[in-house]
Amino acid sequence: MSTKHAPRAPHQGAGASLAEHMKDPAYSAFLLLRTVFTIAPILFGLDKFLNWLPEQHWNMYLATWIDNLLPGTATQVMYLVGVIEIVAGVLVAVAPRIGGWVVAAWLAGIIVNLVTGPGFYDVALRDFGLLVGAVALARLAQGVHDGAIGGSHARA
């Protein structure tokens, strides 16, 4: 059985260093997005428990209909949100081909929440940009996994 591989630039051979791989714009974009979409969800998830960031409580971002749909208090729902965000960040770190799509889906849910409830349209627009970035991460991760991006340095 014959397998076709994407052509590789000369600097992407099996013995290439990370510095050589970073010359590939797609690979450096992959690493940047993987890093950001690992760290940001984990920090936002932890913040649901520690309240470092918002001037007000996270509950203000929760649509009433979602709060009414789920059991428990709004604070308990936000704790669940925090756990999901932490898991999503870890998933991006260990399996970005899957984690990128999970983060994109999670962001889509956040956008629905924001536009159907509290009306934070500016935050929803920002999260749409993040959703596009998460999709780009998932696509780049597939290219890294297939060896079309970054050579054989690391599988995503």
Question: What's the confidence (pLDDT) of residue 23?
Answer: 83
Q: What is the mean pLDDT of each run of 10 residues along the chain (156 residues)?
A: 44 61 89 98 94 80 94 94 97 98 98 94 97 98 92 57
Predicted TM-score (pTM) of the model is: 0.83
Closest among 49, 37, 18, 16 to 98, alpha carbons compared: 37
Q: Which helix (H) or strand (E) holds 101?
A: helix 96-116
Say what the pLDDT of residue 77 is. Answer: 94
Cα angle, residue 9 at apex, residues 147 and 156 outer, rounded to 5°: 20
66-90 pLDDT per residue, tens: 999 999 999 999 999 999 999 999 9
C-alpha closest to that of 132 among 156, 97, 150, 107 = 107
